[in-house]
């Protein structure tokens, strides 16, 4: 074997060792990335479950209080109707009492003017007095019932106001919890949360544009796939670069933050040490 051949053999062995070391480093980085991704997914699922429980409690409380308010409002309307009927009855009794008083006065005048009919008129007046006393007793009873009805209506109104206050407190609590969830960067729409629990659809696209932060690191990436391809906000995609026909470099991971029919914008959440994301790099969900 010539000297040049020996040199080539040695170079081939050295290059093989270097390639094996590089493959081992890539495998270790990929394992760490997968473990971190699983931790983030578990934290997201825990927050989503907490949000769902809070929303269900709020929905049940709203439904229960709405039913109680409707029942109390119906009873209040019934009491008001009864009150109106009692007031009408009182007015009728008062008119009848006035009429009877007028009749009694008329009978008294006739008794004075007609001495022959004095005893008869006196008896009629006595009967009329008894009837008036009965009517007065009925009127007193009606007034007592009316006062009781007004007191009951007042109590119902107080209860209704208390329920309204509790409803406002629950709404404020729900708004506060929703604000906390949003401050953590989590989705509050149950439908979107349910979709996020599913893996992203199989898509492949290309990096169309990048935006760098002040530290000169890429923080936003525009890609050529969007909502028409089944993506939603929060989906995670991998960015890689094909180096040759049989090899590719993993460059990082992006999270969808803006969505359009044919394009989307992703925030870089994980980066690799073996390259910087550039225009023309590949984007896919098939590595997950």
Q: What pTM, to 2 d.p., does this model score?
A: 0.38
| Residue 39 sits in the same domain as residue 169 | yes
| Residue 174 sits in the same domain as residue 285 | no
CATH code of the domain covering residue 85: 1.10.287
Residue 281 backbone class (left: φ over 0; alpha: ψ -120 to 50; beta: rest): beta
Q: Which domain does 283 fall in, by range? A: 199-288
| Residue 40 sits in the same domain as residue 60 | yes
| Residue 205 sits in the same domain as residue 77 | no
pLDDT in tens, 170-209: 888 877 877 776 675 555 666 666 566 577 899 999 999 9
Query: Which tops the pLDDT comparison, 118 or 58?
Result: 58
Query: Which tops the pLDDT comparison, 199 or 267?
Result: 267
Q: Which of 159, 178, 198 is the last residue of a domain?
A: 198
Q: How many domains are there within the chain?
A: 2
Q: Which of 198, 227, 250 is the last residue of a domain?
A: 198
pLDDT in tens, 140-158: 999 999 999 998 898 898 8
Q: What is the mean pLDDT of the chain?
A: 83
Are 255 and 269 in contact by the 8 Å Cβ rule? The answer is yes
What's the average model confidence in pLDDT over 39-44?
77
Which pLDDT does position 259 carry in this prediction? Answer: 93
Report the distance separating Cα 266 and Cα 269, nearest Å: 9
Which pLDDT does position 237 carry in this prediction? Answer: 95
Which pLDDT does position 45 carry in this prediction? Answer: 83
What's the average model confidence in pLDDT over 211-229?
92
Q: Where does the pLDDT of residue 283 fall: very low under 50, low under 70, confident under 90, or very high at 90 and above?
A: very high
Tokens of 213: 């932060």
User: Is pLDDT above 90 for 47?
Assistant: no
Residue 252 backbone class (left: φ over 0; alpha: ψ -120 to 50; beta: rest): left
């Amino acid at each position: 074997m010539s000297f040049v051949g020996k040199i080539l053999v040695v170079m081939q062995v050295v290059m093989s060792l270097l390639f094996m070391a590089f493959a081992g480093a890539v495998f270790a980085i990929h394992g760490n990335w997968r473990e971190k991704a699983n931790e983030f997914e578990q934290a997201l699922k825990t927050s989503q479950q907490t949000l769902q429980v809070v929303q269900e409690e709020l929905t049940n409380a709203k439904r229960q209080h709405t039913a109680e308010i409707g029942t109390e409002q119906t009873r209040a309307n019934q009491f008001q109707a009864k009150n109106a009927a009692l007031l009408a009855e009182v007015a009728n009794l008062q008119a009848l009492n006035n009429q009877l008083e007028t009749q009694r006065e008329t009978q008294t005048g006739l008794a004075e003017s007609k001495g022959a009919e004095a005893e008869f008129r006196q008896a009629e007046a006595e009967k009329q007095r008894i009837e008036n006393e009965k009517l007065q007793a009925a009127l007193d009873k009606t007034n007592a019932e009316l006062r009781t009805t007004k007191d009951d209506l007042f109590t119902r109104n107080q209860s209704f106001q208390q329920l309204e206050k509790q409803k406002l407190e629950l709404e404020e609590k729900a708004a506060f919890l929703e604000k906390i969830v949003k401050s953590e960067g989590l989705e509050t729409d149950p439908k979107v949360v349910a979709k996020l629990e599913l893996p992203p659809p199989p898509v492949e696209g290309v990096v169309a544009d990048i935006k760098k932060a002040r530290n000169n690191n890429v923080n936003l990436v525009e890609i050529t796939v969007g909502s028409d391809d089944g993506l939603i906000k929060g989906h995670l995609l991998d960015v890689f670069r094909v180096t040759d026909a049989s090899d590719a470099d993993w460059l990082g991971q992006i999270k969808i933050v803006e969505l359009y029919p044919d394009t989307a914008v992703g925030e870089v959440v994980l980066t690799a040490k073996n390259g910087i994301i550039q225009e023309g790099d590949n984007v896919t969900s098939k590595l997950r």
